[in-house]
Amino acid sequence: MRVMKEFFGKLNGKEVTSFILRNSKGMEMTCLNYGGIITRLLTPDCEGKVEDVVLGFDNVEDYEHHSPYFGAIVGRFAGRISGAEFELDGKSYRLLKNDGENHLHGGNEGFSHVIWEAETFEAEDRVGVTFSYLSKDGEEGYPGNLDVSVTYTLTEENELLIDYSATSDQTTIVNLTNHTYFNLSGDLKEDILDHTLTINSSEFLELKPDLMPTGEKLRVDDTPFDFRNGRKISDGAVSEYEQNILAGRGYDHPFMLNANNNKEIKLKDDKSGRVLVIETDEPCVVLYTGTQIEDNYEVKGVQARKYLGLCLETQGAPDSINQPHFPSPVLRAGERYETRTRYAFGVE
């Protein structure tokens, strides 16, 4: 188990460093201090062939100009906030409108677009890197000085653990996630339409045409949103169901995870045999099937296109600060925001 550091590039005069985490089983992950971006994740298929299973770039410039949040830490608030405003303890806060009339993924200079401090660690059975960032009071319109840390840990069991932690000196809102796009075919040989996904969820959030939650939870029964027993991603691409159509013939939806059972998510690619099992203590996972990926650039030598990868963003519900019956995103001074998501890679 070891960690290596390499120069990746420069951004606005600041050095961007890549951190390469390796175990003895052939798994390797590369991440950046810019946005905490996961650029590469190598795992073996059923024949032992090690290939990359995430979307990313080989240079800083592409991340700056093209990336739809490939591999990045998203915050302060993952997802959309309606009208780019919210009220907290009787005070109104206005945020940047960077998604039509709404606020998306923390703004133009959210956590995905900043340089983080980084500290690596090595142990016998795990290696990792902890990224730290102080988001100052008023940054992108949010209240409070928010001290954030995100730790990536690679284990000998081919697991990636992501631990999020944050404290604030004022009452604020927090909703962090990771925006990695997965494609288990390996080296982007295929799109993700033939991937099989299982989500332990009986309800998903209904969306408006602008992809903002209406506030209503819909049952998954008898819809292309019922992943409880596994189904192909392609079901949503060919569906005439209104919610699939407004998401660009796919999914861009929050699924509320069943709290009374194991909050498990499973993604499988039959051709490679690769399997990804995700476990989280978050109440929600957003399934996004890459329906807005533009085709005017390349990703690791492959033409970017719709359905090239999918995201499984474990988090709190989008717009939860404006939806009182959603789990609250409020973090008060002196309290600590803590959450963990585990990604276990294997073959079947």
- Residue range 230-259: mean pLDDT, rounded: 97
- Residue range 243-250: mean pLDDT, rounded: 98
**pLDDT tens, 212-228?**
999 999 999 999 999 99
Q: Is the pLDDT of residue 279 over 70?
A: yes
Domain 2-347 - what CATH class? mainly beta
Residues 158, 149 contacting (CB under 8 angstroms):
no
Residues 302, 185 contacting (CB under 8 angstroms):
no
The DSSP output letter for 193 is T
Q: Is 155 annotated as a binding residue?
A: no
Q: Is the pLDDT of residue 271 over 70?
A: yes
Which are the contacts of 111, defined by CB distance < 8 A and separation ≥ 6? 35, 36, 72, 73, 74, 75, 76, 133, 135, 148, 176
**pLDDT tens, 331-343?**
999 999 999 999 9
Q: Is 172 annotated as a binding residue?
A: no
Query: What was the pLDDT predicted at 261?
Result: 64
- Residues annotated catalytic, as ranges: 179, 313
Please give the mean pLDDT across all residues of the chain.
Answer: 97
- Residue range 162-179: mean pLDDT, rounded: 99
Query: What was the pLDDT predicted at 131?
Result: 99
Q: Is 179 annotated as a binding residue?
A: yes
Q: Is 105 annotated as a binding residue?
A: no
Residues 21, 161 contacting (CB under 8 angstroms):
no
Identify the burial level of 152 via C-beta atoms within 10 angstroms of its C-beta, where 0-12 means exposed, 13-18 middle and 19 or more buried: buried
Confidence of residue 317 (pLDDT cuts 50, 70, 90): very high
CA dihedral 75, 77, 78, 79 (to 10 degrees): -140
* Spans of all domains in the chain: 2-347
Give the up-direction half-sphere exposure of residue 288: CA atoms within 13 A in the CB hemisphere.
19
- Residue range 29-52: mean pLDDT, rounded: 98
Considering the chain, what percentage of its residues have pLDDT values greater than 90?
Answer: 96
- Residue range 134-153: mean pLDDT, rounded: 98
Residues 332, 162 contacting (CB under 8 angstroms):
no
Q: How far apart are CA 71 and CA 36, in angstroms?
A: 8
